[in-house]
Structure 1
């Protein structure tokens, strides 16, 4: 079944997202591991992705953990350093699809304010035909409600959506609703899948 729209995750699909790498570079792997063991920073980020305020949430967590106050605040102060670099092959694929008239959506766990900020840093984040951002939707992947929200808004049958994400649990949740899926491990594999789906040629996909 030929897809009618292509749905991209953003983190580790269009932009690398690796807070651990950033902290390793600042405080070293051993201290970073201790910090992440003591402070659930990804849990904090899930709150932001679900709609909590960006800076205020980070500041609250920084106050809860006085041994790590400075480092926790880096999550806000150096956020763009954690959400980089761009994955150029994926961005080129997105643009190749849109050039052919294929609707391209984003479905991303992203905070309201952090996404708005990211749009000022990455031009392509404003190029989606539709952007489904968890912070605005009030629910994060892999909750089934976020996929249902996409279906209800775009009006496209689940089987006509093809979705890529780097997390197996997010992919499994989409597949359970009947979406076509691809577990992202690199832009080349995603390009091959889009070629197989008949949406782009190998030349257009850059492979």
Structure 2
């Protein structure tokens, strides 16, 4: 549900009118939109399932959660995906398609640059996996324009587990209301709010920037 202006300001006032010291962003659906069909079509060329089924099988398989929490390796994840999709190509071919799903959100990339120009430290907090992060680092220059990163596959837990937010607090050296956070999933926002973060659901770049303005961040 979209917060009205008064709701944002009332929430801000209840925290004592403190300005955050750092800005933390989710990655997917914030800086990078997804086109899963594009990747699935590529995988399907060497698999036994149509693209629609590949999306369903991969996104719902327990191995994806295991991979994104670091409990299995990239090689182990690949072997499981071959078993469930009938993929017969190489690991390089599979992961080329698996990661070829992103569309940069230029408004948010520009917003991050604006925040950094104003002296804010910015961070990424993401549920993701090793091969995806490696691909993004190679492919998108904006990804180097943050002060630090916390990834689920390195932490061993995923949002909204409190431990991953606490890992970010340790990395940034701040906690609670000192952090402004946006995430597209309400459950992840609620997890951050339980630790006192100034957290909001990312509905669109326009809305997130509007909230930042109302809070006096920009």
What TM-score bracket applies, with the shorter chain setting the length?
0.7 to 0.9
Contact 1:108 1:133 in 2 (8 A): yes
Contact 1:3 1:197 in 2 (8 A): no
1:183 aligned partner: 201
Contact 2:69 2:152 in 1 (8 A): yes
Structure 2: stretches of 5+ with no match in the other structure: 1-17
1:88 aligned partner: 106
Paired residue for 2:119, among 101, 105, 111?
101
Query: What CA distance in whole angstroms lies between the structure 2 residues aligned with 1:3 and 1:184?
Result: 17
Paired residue for 1:10, among 13, 20, 27?
27
Query: What CA distance in whole angstroms lies between the structure 1 residues aligned with 2:106 and 2:200?
Result: 18
2:130 aligned partner: 112
Query: What CA distance in whole angstroms lies between the structure 2 residues aligned with 1:185 and 1:21?
Result: 23
2:160 aligned partner: 142
Query: What CA distance in whole angstroms lies between the structure 2 residues aligned with 1:77 and 1:122?
Result: 15
1:53 aligned partner: 73
Structure 1: stretches of 5+ with no match in the other structure: 201-207
Larger Rg: 2
Higher helix share: 1
Displacement of 1:144? 1.1
Displacement of 1:38? 4.9
Q: Deviations over 1:41-97 (max 9, x none)?
A: 55433222212323x1332213432x53259x6651213321x11000000001100
Aligned residue runs from structure 1 range 24-35, under 5 A: 31-35=50-54
Contact 2:24 2:123 in 1 (8 A): yes
Query: What CA distance in whole angstroms lies between the structure 1 residues aligned with 2:172 and 2:179?
Result: 10
TM-score by length of 2: 0.78
Displacement of 1:155? 2.2
TM-score by length of 1: 0.82
Contact 1:104 1:130 in 2 (8 A): yes
Contact 1:58 1:75 in 2 (8 A): no
* Number of residue pairs aligned between Structure 1 and Structure 2: 195
Does residue 19 of the first structure (1) align with residue 39 of the second (2)? Answer: no
Contact 2:21 2:121 in 1 (8 A): yes
